[in-house]
């Protein structure tokens, strides 16, 4: 094979690095050894310090690096070190043989930088680098062979990318000056025919009224909450005259207001009463969810007949009226309802208060308050992560909550959750692009990751700039 250099033994003065490996009877020291895959090439590098090496005058030491795998190996260019007389003979031979493939001895130096680039093959991923040592010479000297490992494990691009710890982006939610919330209950109160007075013991009214009062008590008894309004809206089922149904929906809503005014200590000026009239919207939803075979025909009539009186008559005539009677019995009662909503505001909390409240009443914290609580803990720690997980549970449709939850999932390398949250985030933000880049990187799509990081970096995202720099270190030698 080609001998890349011939090295005459000399005295060296360089200090030996502490981490050096010793070879050939501890006379050769190798440092900075690396096996680095880049694209279709494998770069082999090491520094060889031979200051303590001595070769007898008539002998030659040949050092041959060999890249070895389970079933393959590559013999690399060897290093030849001649003793003094052997070197003179070699030089004379070189002068006479102009066609020799051996190189002229390079200038003596204290550290030899050995560098080779060879085509990379998949089997090399787990290969190791050995050094074969061969001492031979004239005068009856016998050949001496030895083999020592320099290093194992090739640094592949795939391994280096997998080892990266990309930095996700978080967005601080906007602070809510007033934290306005509401509680709502859909009450199905029962009234005697043609009546609008609430009778607590009539049919299921007792249960419905108890549920409404429990909602009121929950809000009124919590000192963190301040009621700002009570909204009552009545509905009637769409059978009978339209004007009568509109009047019934209004008077029944007024009846609930009167009941609450007596039983709840809420100022009269906070009540707002409205009526929805006939509950056609509720009937459409009920039909869509039902198993009635005529539901498509009913829905077509409702959607395509604008005249209410005519619509009712057409519904009654479907299949001789039997399906309509079924609807009266099974679907219409639930349409006679009163919606009751309480609007309230929640007090604002400092971080220390928020850290306690989030344990038992996380719904009372705004997204911004949760963000501040999370960032009071070490970034990436269990408490930090837990707060963002709570935030997205409390605000499942909020784009910022989902973006931050995606960042947490990416930090845990939970790709399914990360994708789910990213898909509900605002895709126009630089933070989304950076986190989407991390998703692609962890999925093994380096090229698309670079596209996303570049997009985010152009929009000023510092985490994306860092992530790009880290990838550059991996993919460039």
pLDDT for res 141: 62
pLDDT, tens digit, 9 for 90 and up, residues 38-84:
889 999 999 988 888 888 888 888 899 999 998 999 999 988 888 87
pLDDT for res 22: 77
For the domain made up of 3-155, give the CATH fold: Immunoglobulin-like (2.60.40)
The torsion angles phi and psi of 199, rounded to 5 degrees, stand at -110, 105
**Percent residues over pLDDT 90 in the chain:** 64
Question: Residue 214, Cβ neighbours under 10 Å: how many?
Answer: 10
In the chain, where are the structural domains located? 3-155, 179-290+331-344, 348-475
Residue 326 scores a pLDDT above 60: yes
Task: Write the DSSP assignment of 220-250 as a string of letters.
Answer: HT-TTEEEEEEEEEEEE-S-S-HHHHHHHHH
**What distance in Å separates the CA atoms of residue 393 and residue 404, rounded to the nearest whole number?**
12
The reply to whether 3-155 and 179-290+331-344 are identical in fold is no
* Site of tokens 């209950």: 185
Residue 18 scores a pLDDT above 50: no
* Average pLDDT score over residue span 120-145: 82
Global pTM?
0.71
Q: How far is CA 380 from CA 15, 165, 371, 424, in A?
A: 43, 12, 13, 22
The torsion angles phi and psi of 73, rounded to 5 degrees, stand at -160, 155
Residue 432 scores a pLDDT above 70: yes
Q: Which CATH number fits domain 348-475: 3.40.228.10, 1.25.40.10, 3.40.710.10, 3.30.465.10?
A: 1.25.40.10
pLDDT for res 138: 59
106 vs 67, higher pLDDT: 67
pLDDT, tens digit, 9 for 90 and up, residues 272-312:
999 889 999 999 999 999 999 999 999 999 999 999 999 99
Residue 142 scores a pLDDT above 80: no
Residue 9 scores a pLDDT above 50: no
Residue 10 scores a pLDDT above 60: no
Confidence of residue 100 (pLDDT cuts 50, 70, 90): very low
pLDDT for res 101: 42
> Which residue pairs from 31-35 have beta carbons closer than 8 angstroms and sit at least 24 positions apart in sequence?
33/129, 33/150, 33/151, 34/151, 34/155, 35/67, 35/124, 35/127, 35/129, 35/151, 35/153, 35/154, 35/155
Residue 98 scores a pLDDT above 60: no
Residue 12 scores a pLDDT above 50: no
pLDDT-wise least confident of 84-98, 311-325, 349-363, 401-415: 84-98
**What distance in Å separates the CA atoms of residue 432 and residue 422, rounded to the nearest whole number?**
7
277 vs 10, higher pLDDT: 277
CB 81 within 8 A of CB 61: yes
CB 438 within 8 A of CB 471: no
**What distance in Å separates the CA atoms of residue 216 and residue 255, rounded to the nearest whole number?**
17
Question: Residue 204, Cβ neighbours under 10 Å: how many?
Answer: 10
Residue 15 scores a pLDDT above 50: no
* Site of tokens 């030698």: 477
* Direct distance between the N- and C-terminal alpha carbons of the chain, in angstroms, rounded to an integer: 27
Residue 36 scores a pLDDT above 80: yes
The torsion angles phi and psi of 402, rounded to 5 degrees, stand at -70, -40
Confidence of residue 398 (pLDDT cuts 50, 70, 90): very high
- The beta-strand segments (E) located in 178-218 are 179-187
Tell me the CATH number for domain 179-290+331-344. 3.30.1330.60
Q: What angle do CA 225, 231, 234 make, to 5 degrees?
A: 150
Average pLDDT, the chain: 88
pLDDT, tens digit, 9 for 90 and up, residues 188-223:
888 776 678 888 988 889 999 999 999 999 999 999
Contacts of 24 (CB under 8 A, 6+ apart): 53, 61, 63, 133, 146, 148
């Amino acid at each position: 094979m080609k001998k890349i250099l011939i090295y005459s033994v000399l005295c060296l003065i360089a200090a030996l690095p502490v981490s050096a490996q010793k070879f050939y009877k501890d006379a050769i020291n190798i440092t900075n050894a690396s096996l680095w895959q880049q694209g279709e090439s494998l770069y082999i590098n090491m520094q060889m310090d031979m200051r303590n090496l001595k070769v007898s005058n008539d002998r030659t030491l040949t050092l041959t690096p060999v890249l070895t795998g389970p079933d393959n190996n590559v013999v690399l260019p060897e290093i030849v070190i001649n003793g003094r007389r052997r070197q003179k003979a070699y030089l004379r031979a070189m002068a006479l043989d102009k066609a020799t493939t051996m190189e002229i001895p390079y200038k003596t130096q204290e550290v030899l930088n050995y560098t080779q680039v060879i085509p990379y093959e998949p089997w090399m991923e787990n290969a190791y680098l050995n050094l074969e040592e061969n001492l031979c010479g004239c005068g009856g000297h016998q050949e001496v062979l030895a083999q020592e490992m320099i290093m194992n494990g090739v640094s592949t691009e795939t391994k280096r990318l997998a080892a990266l710890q990309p930095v996700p982006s978080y967005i601080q939610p906007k602070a809510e000056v007033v934290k306005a919330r509401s509680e709502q209950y859909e009450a199905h109160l029962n009234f005697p025919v043609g009546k609008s007075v609430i009778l607590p013991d009539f049919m299921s009214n007792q249960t419905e009224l108890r549920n409404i009062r429990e909602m009121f008590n929950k809000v009124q008894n919590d000192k963190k909450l301040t009621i700002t309004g009570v909204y009552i809206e009545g509905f009637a089922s769409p059978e009978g005259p339209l004007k009568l149904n509109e009047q019934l929906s209004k008077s029944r809503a007024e009846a609930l207001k009167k009941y609450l005014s007596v039983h709840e200590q809420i100022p009269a000026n906070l009540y707002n009463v409205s009526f929805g009239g006939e509950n056609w919207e509720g009937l459409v939803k009920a039909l869509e969810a039902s198993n009635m075979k005529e539901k498509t025909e009913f829905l077509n009539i409702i959607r395509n007949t604008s005249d209410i009186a005519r619509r009712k008559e057409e519904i009654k005539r479907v299949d001789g009226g039997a399906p309509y009677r079924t609807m009266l019995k099974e679907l219409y009662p639930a349409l006679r309802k009163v919606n009751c909503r309480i609007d309230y505001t929640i007090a604002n909390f400092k971080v220390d208060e928020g850290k306690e409240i989030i344990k038992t009443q996380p719904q009372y914290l705004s997204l911004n308050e949760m963000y501040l609580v999370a960032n009071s803990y070490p970034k990436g720690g269990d408490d930090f992560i837990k707060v963002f997980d709570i935030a997205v549970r409390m605000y499942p449709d909020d784009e910022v909550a989902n973006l931050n939850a995606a960042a947490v999932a990416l930090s845990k390398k939970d790709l399914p959750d990360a994708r789910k949250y990213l898909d509900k985030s605002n895709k126009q933000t630089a933070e989304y692009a950076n986190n989407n880049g991390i998703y692609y990187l962890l999925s093994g799509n380096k090229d698309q990751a670079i596209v996303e990081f570049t997009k985010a970096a152009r929009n000023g995202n510092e985490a994306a700039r860092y992530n790009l720099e880290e990838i550059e270190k991996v993919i460039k030698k």
